[in-house]
Amino acid sequence: MTKPYKKIMITGAAGRLGTELRRGLAPLADTLLLADMVEVKDLQANEEGIVFDLGDEEATMAAIEGCDAIVHMGGAPHERPWQEVLDSNIRGSYHIFEGARKHGVKRVIYASSVHAIGYHRLGDHIPCDAKPRPDSLYGVSKCFVESLASLYHDKFGIESACVRIFSSFPEPADRRMLWSWLSFDDCCRLFSACLTAPYLGATITAGMSDNKVKPVDMTNGGHVGFRPQDSSEPYREAMEAKTDPADPGDPSTQHIGGWFVNLGHPDDEEGK
Amino acid sequence: MTKPYKKIMITGAAGRLGTELRRGLAPLADTLLLADMVEVKDLQANEEGIVFDLGDEEATMAAIEGCDAIVHMGGAPHERPWQEVLDSNIRGSYHIFEGARKHGVKRVIYASSVHAIGYHRLGDHIPCDAKPRPDSLYGVSKCFVESLASLYHDKFGIESACVRIFSSFPEPADRRMLWSWLSFDDCCRLFSACLTAPYLGATITAGMSDNKVKPVDMTNGGHVGFRPQDSSEPYREAMEAKTDPADPGDPSTQHIGGWFVNLGHPDDEEGK
Amino acid sequence: MTKPYKKIMITGAAGRLGTELRRGLAPLADTLLLADMVEVKDLQANEEGIVFDLGDEEATMAAIEGCDAIVHMGGAPHERPWQEVLDSNIRGSYHIFEGARKHGVKRVIYASSVHAIGYHRLGDHIPCDAKPRPDSLYGVSKCFVESLASLYHDKFGIESACVRIFSSFPEPADRRMLWSWLSFDDCCRLFSACLTAPYLGATITAGMSDNKVKPVDMTNGGHVGFRPQDSSEPYREAMEAKTDPADPGDPSTQHIGGWFVNLGHPDDEEGK
Amino acid sequence: MTKPYKKIMITGAAGRLGTELRRGLAPLADTLLLADMVEVKDLQANEEGIVFDLGDEEATMAAIEGCDAIVHMGGAPHERPWQEVLDSNIRGSYHIFEGARKHGVKRVIYASSVHAIGYHRLGDHIPCDAKPRPDSLYGVSKCFVESLASLYHDKFGIESACVRIFSSFPEPADRRMLWSWLSFDDCCRLFSACLTAPYLGATITAGMSDNKVKPVDMTNGGHVGFRPQDSSEPYREAMEAKTDPADPGDPSTQHIGGWFVNLGHPDDEEGK
Amino acid sequence: MTKPYKKIMITGAAGRLGTELRRGLAPLADTLLLADMVEVKDLQANEEGIVFDLGDEEATMAAIEGCDAIVHMGGAPHERPWQEVLDSNIRGSYHIFEGARKHGVKRVIYASSVHAIGYHRLGDHIPCDAKPRPDSLYGVSKCFVESLASLYHDKFGIESACVRIFSSFPEPADRRMLWSWLSFDDCCRLFSACLTAPYLGATITAGMSDNKVKPVDMTNGGHVGFRPQDSSEPYREAMEAKTDPADPGDPSTQHIGGWFVNLGHPDDEEGK
Amino acid sequence: MTKPYKKIMITGAAGRLGTELRRGLAPLADTLLLADMVEVKDLQANEEGIVFDLGDEEATMAAIEGCDAIVHMGGAPHERPWQEVLDSNIRGSYHIFEGARKHGVKRVIYASSVHAIGYHRLGDHIPCDAKPRPDSLYGVSKCFVESLASLYHDKFGIESACVRIFSSFPEPADRRMLWSWLSFDDCCRLFSACLTAPYLGATITAGMSDNKVKPVDMTNGGHVGFRPQDSSEPYREAMEAKTDPADPGDPSTQHIGGWFVNLGHPDDEEGK
């Protein structure tokens, strides 16, 4: 049977989620092009590897040629000093979209983050495509790419999904993840759905498993066709046994960005 | 046990959905009165047949006498020249509501259509009772009946549901139906729900199965009590194998009305 | 100076509002083509007259040829028996839009009515483009044309405004008009605005003067550029002196359609 | 394993729901303090009993000392004369919140009621935290407590949930309960969820089981983590066999408060 | 000319706003019945005085007999200990509405307050009829009356307006009043509008002059017909000269209730 | 009289709007610090000049020291190649906000642009703080700063307004400006309002004069206190005489960004 794509590039392919997606997206393309700053190991028959820095425009462009979809997981994965956020997340993502434009890529699926909207409150029941309200420079860079994706769809016709991933880990790692957790399997389901949805436009959606507590309204992501099948419930008892309840007065309890809202400015932290 | 209705008239009873509803609605009435322009065959013990043209006011009125509910599936089932749309869908439906008013019918359940709202976009996540945005003269006629139903409830107290049926076929017949499909069993569940809901008022709702991709927000139909139990997923693999992905630049991909938005004017087509 | 239109056809030109618009729209076209079932009198230098019935498709089409805008005021001006509503308002308006399509008319401005939404409540603060909720067959026919206008814009590119006129009379004629009144001058301003707005799409808006009581939210009509300059206040004292306050329990007080909501079915009235 | 609370006071513990919650909330606290105007019987090892009148401020305050959560089910459970509503529901609940403030209680979960919003209509699809629209003095007292809970959270930091219970009975007792029913098990799930949700703020939510007909939008309660697991469907056939369908013209059919909207003023009823 | 009312009772008629309304409402009734706990002085020809305590049900009822409208300004005018709020605002207002019900009063216009919604934020742009979010016990009592008014309209047909007065003083008395000020003349205009609006239902609206800064959306009050004609601008320069700008970090700057949000509990203040 | 600010830095002070604001903001600060890449001429007594490139972090930081407000007009004023947008608008604005954070600046007022939301449609009636939908790299950079401002308020307490300026020129320069025009005087009023509003938070608002056509809903900017006093009407006749009406099928007519939506990618234009 014909696969929907010939070659999908996965950036950040050596990372935590990139590794999972190698498995999850294999059915969707003849070839997965695994891109990272470091060499990706254990290449399978359907995989090719490539090493470059997203900040290197020419290398990024060259890598994209021949791909018909990009799953863009690369760049700094959490709060970092401005210069790093600028180079890897802002400039790097611009290179991705420019590459997509110049080489006729059909869809770009981007790992945005809850931290693009981290200062919204848990009780707000925001829609999954709520307005930007970043909780960090990292979050600001995610907002930047979301607006870039909007432009590249409206003006250049490139379909995209910016997936605001909440907390994708092997299992819930703290109390907050009892509601924010996205299992690896659900993460794969979500990115697959984005690549195969009948209409994508410039979608902004969110990624959480089917956890009991649901502070985000997913209605606006209904056209993507993501149906989470995992839940944090099996982990609840153990997590509650070993951790204290959240402090209701702590900003990290009140906002969906969690402890990111309590971080200082990264350049201060770095002693800059 | 007493059935909720004595006699339900089904118009268009010889048609695709009319035939399914004979089976599905049998438990709800002592008698089903099967009305169509052609003779309905294989009448069962609980069924009566009647032949007339909806454009014939007198005949329509006469047929309604003695019914306490009408399931109005009749009329042109897709885009047709204006004169036919006018006679069968506009004039015909007026006769139905007038008959309901004059003969004390309690509820009218009407087969409206996605084409009443076909120019809304897939990414709009419209509610199931979204504003009119028809994609055809056929769709305009559906909007007409929806506003007529509103009047007959507000002024004359007749409860009604206008069910915007998306794509009700034996199985999904094209890629679009992977999200728009309404199985025959779900169609029967939906019309049964409309006939037995505790409160109907002048409901406008939509009909799709529990498909993975959900571009319509069904919240406003919650009082009807329709819970779809089928899904297009079992048909996905075969459908994707034999058809190409949708072209994102094609209006029929972008709008929920599908290929109806690409139709020209029916009278031009007819060489008029 | 070049006028924006060469020839504007005004239907219903012999009627109350048609007469006012002859004056108001004169600056916008080289010629006003004044159409009605009866002869329009006192033709001015910039005016031409034509007599035909909107129900006559061929005559309507012929009249439209050469016009680049239509101001469609014709048809039954209030509740009438179904056959008359059907012929003059439904069939007649279809002929207008078909004529516009076939003869390349740019804009159609349609005299819709508060009665398309008459069953909304005064306390609902509905937007000027609220969903249909007609209070009469007359109102249903207005809803029909609104959905037709939507189709002809989405599919055939004809811009239109459906203006839900509330109460346009020489002066407020009852208590309700203290809020629903549209002065003749404001009516002219409104139709002029519709003909000259930079973008019309398929606008649905409403027409009231700048009266003190404002139960309708006009925000969604902001792109039309209508700024009412009259008010019912000068008429308040006299009106309140000669009429009783509204009965809060009367449906005609509670709904924006006023006494139309208390009308019975027109065919009953006619003894049909 | 440590339980989340040391001591939870349940008021109205001798009542219908109070009795169920003894069972349901046992896992959440070392001790349940069972408060009522009458003695609670059959105390278990984890339970303590206390008798006082909520109208007695001093006694209420004293009872609260040492509790870290309150589940406030006490007070008049349905429409009663004003003086009784005032004493038991308004003054009594004020004493509860004042006790919570003075003794450092973390969370108050309050048995609000559908009757706080009973005049909303079934077809409105109101959110679970819709604006007040009470159908009785009883309902007004529920609105009072909801606004009190809002103040005590905003100003004093006490988290609370006001749970608008629809109809919590052993099984559906009339036709309306086919949609409004909250099973006892689901009631326990709901109150447990409120006590353990990661963030509560001043939540207003609603309590119904997973019944087929869903006229209320629960999205705004998503952060509570309540997932009903029961349904009224198993009771439908028997209920429909023994009761007549609702009369669509009866206010008790049209409004979510049911027969409360048809009650007169309680003081009239009492012959006052 | 006949005045719209025979006798309007003004409670709190000796107070700051009550005094202004004597002047402002004189044109609307043959007689103004001026009620207060203290004697109202300088009675004019169209005025009658009466002294009673709103907490005295019998006296309140007796006073209402013969009135066809009530303007209810009485009760504690700001934060007070619970017992006083309970007696004068909660019990007292109940007596007013009961009196209205028993004596056929048509409209009750109530002096609600910004403090019923004081914890909403300035940047929220809440509608004038926003959900309760009180900032004080005083505010909670205003919410109580608002829900009582809703009940008495829905069930007993009494029309009412609850006017959330922001800051009605002779002139702006602090920086916040540059946006929250309601001039005395505008206050009279507003209450007059409530008494003469064609439809009132159970209106909740707000009272501010036409100040430059407008943090509240008045659209939902449009049916009242209030058009403020004063503005705080003439007072701006002097006010800014003598006061410091607001501290953006102070809760009283961020919330519309102003310094009420910084008040402690009134019973603590009283040394209770 | 004390002015509200000691020293306001205006970046881009040599530009079109910067020059106007020198005049308009003079009453608000003891000193205006006029910053630009080129020397600002004709310094007045209340003005100081400083020359630096916003891309130079150290120089920008140094300039900010001692300022208590920044009016940030600097950077590329329209679509430019990516590298220039990155340096002057993205990196430059980051330096501004970092300087504000490090030097205790209270408010930053930023010249955002209609091009941050240029792909919204004229008929959408978007609120002034609508979601990002940029029409150019220039617009993307404006979105970046808007999200940065949100972060710096939520996390670091710096109040800001991002003013989406539509078209600020001496007079309307094309047909579109008949609705999008912001007069220089109104521009000064708007920036003054932002600097003196009682509460700013992280405001996003829009800047247009009181033009007849109003496609943007300004309700969400009501707390700023901007009241435009100019209008494009005096320029209408001349403009309409010398230009053709807009083509309704042209994307630049349909979207609020105007001709920016028809621009290609700036790097292509530059022959890159």
Q: What ipTM does the predicted assembly reach?
A: 0.96
CB neighbours (10 Å) of residue A120? 23
Q: Where residue D234 falls among pLDDT bands split at 50, 70, 90?
A: very high
pTM: 0.96
pLDDT per residue over E175-222, tens digit each? 999 999 999 999 999 999 999 999 999 999 999 999 999 999 999 999
Nearest CA to D138 out of D10, D266, D272 is that of: D266
Q: Where residue C272 falls among pLDDT bands split at 50, 70, 90?
A: very low
Among A94, A110, A119, A138, which one carries the catalytic annotation? A138
pLDDT per residue over D186-209, tens digit each? 999 999 999 999 999 999 999 999
pLDDT value of residue B86: 97
- Distance of residue E242 Cα from the nearest chain F Cα, in angstroms: 9
pLDDT value of residue D205: 98
Interface probe with E: pick from F223, F224, F226, F229, most Cβ of E within 10 Å? F223
Is D5 assigned a catalytic role?
Answer: no
pLDDT value of residue C270: 57
Domains in chain B, start-ordered, CATH in brackets? Answer: 5-262 (3.40.50.720)
DSSP H helical ranges for chain B:
16-25, 57-64, 82-84, 92-102, 137-156, 177-180, 184-196, 233-242, 251-254, 266-269
Residue B135 contacts residue B252 (beta carbons within 8 Å): no
Burial D190-226 (b: 16+ CB within 10 A, else e): bbbbbbbbbbbbbbbbbbbbebbbbbbbbbbbbbbbb
B131-154 average pLDDT score: 98
**Pick from C82, C132, C267: CB nearest B147:** C132
D159-178 average pLDDT score: 97
Q: Which residues of B touch A197 (CB under 8 A)?
A: 213
B202 has pLDDT over 50: yes
B94-122 average pLDDT score: 98
Q: Which residues of F touch C197 (CB under 8 A)?
A: 213
> E8 phi and psi, to 5 degrees?
-105, 125
pLDDT value of residue B269: 66
pLDDT per residue over D13-33, tens digit each? 999 999 999 999 999 999 999
D272 has pLDDT over 90: no
Contact D198 A240 (CB under 8 A): no
Question: F touches which chains (3+ CB pairs under 8 A)?
Answer: A, C, E
Strand partners, C10: C34, C71
What is the pairing mode between strands C107-113 and C69-72?
A: parallel
Counting one residue from chain B and one from chain C, the pairs whose CB atoms sit within 8 A come to 89
Nearest CA to C144 out of F41, B151, A112 is that of: B151
Question: Which residues, 6+ apart, have CB-to-CB distance to C264 below 8 Å?
Answer: none
Contact F199 E249 (CB under 8 A): no
Strand partners, C160: C108, C202
pLDDT per residue over B157-187, tens digit each? 999 999 999 999 999 999 999 999 999 999 9
Contact E198 C240 (CB under 8 A): no
Among C119, C138, C199, C235, which one carries the catalytic annotation? C138
C21-49 average pLDDT score: 97
Interface probe with A: pick from F79, F131, F272, most Cβ of A within 10 Å? F131
* Nearest-Cα residue of chain B relative to residue A202: B123
In whole numbers, what is the pLDDT of chain E averaged over residues?
96
Contact A122 D222 (CB under 8 A): no
Question: Cα dihedral sign for E188, E190, E195, E196?
Answer: positive
DSSP H helical ranges for chain E:
16-25, 57-64, 82-84, 92-102, 137-156, 177-180, 184-196, 233-242, 251-254, 266-269
B1 has pLDDT over 80: no
Contact A215 D222 (CB under 8 A): yes
Among D5, D138, D152, D199, which one carries the catalytic annotation? D138
Between E229 and B267, the more confident residue is E229
Report the distance separating Cα F14 and Cα F35, nearest Å: 8
Question: C touches which chains (3+ CB pairs under 8 A)?
Answer: B, E, F
Chains F, A in contact, 3 or more Cβ pairs below 8 Å: yes
Chains D, F in contact, 3 or more Cβ pairs below 8 Å: no
Interface probe with F: pick from C199, C205, C227, most Cβ of F within 10 Å? C199
pLDDT per residue over A220-271, tens digit each? 999 999 999 999 999 999 999 999 989 999 999 999 999 999 999 998 865 5
C191-207 average pLDDT score: 97
The residues of chain A scoring below 50 in pLDDT are 272
pLDDT value of residue E270: 57
pLDDT per residue over D242-252, tens digit each? 999 899 999 99
Report the distance separating Cα C122 and Cα C216, nearest Å: 8
Name every residue in A having a CB less than 8 A away from some CB of D. Answer: 121-123, 125, 175-176, 178-179, 212-217, 219, 237, 240-241, 245-246, 248-249, 253-254
Q: Which residues of C touch F241 (CB under 8 A)?
A: 1-2
Report the distance separating Cα B19 and Cα B17, nearest Å: 5
Interface probe with B: pick from A199, A224, A227, A229, most Cβ of B within 10 Å? A199
pLDDT value of residue F146: 98
pLDDT per residue over D39-77, tens digit each? 999 999 999 999 999 999 999 999 999 999 999 999 999
What percent helix, strand, coil does chain E show, rounded to 5?
A: 40, 20, 40
The residues of chain F scoring below 70 in pLDDT are 1, 269-272
Q: Which residues of B touch D217 (CB under 8 A)?
A: 219, 222
Report the distance separating Cα F124 and Cα A57, nearest Å: 37
Contact C150 B137 (CB under 8 A): no
pLDDT per residue over A82-107, tens digit each? 999 999 999 999 999 999 999 999 99
Q: Where residue E2 falls among pLDDT bands split at 50, 70, 90?
A: confident
Contact C215 E223 (CB under 8 A): yes
Question: A touches which chains (3+ CB pairs under 8 A)?
Answer: B, D, F
E272 has pLDDT over 50: no
Strand order in the sheet with E29-36: E47-51, E29-36, E5-11, E69-72, E107-113, E159-165, E202-207
pLDDT value of residue C1: 63
Chains B, F in contact, 3 or more Cβ pairs below 8 Å: no
* Nearest-Cα residue of chain B relative to residue C82: B94
B125-154 average pLDDT score: 98
Q: Which residues of F touch A93 (CB under 8 A)?
A: none
Report the distance separating Cα F179 and Cα F173, nearest Å: 11
E37-59 average pLDDT score: 96
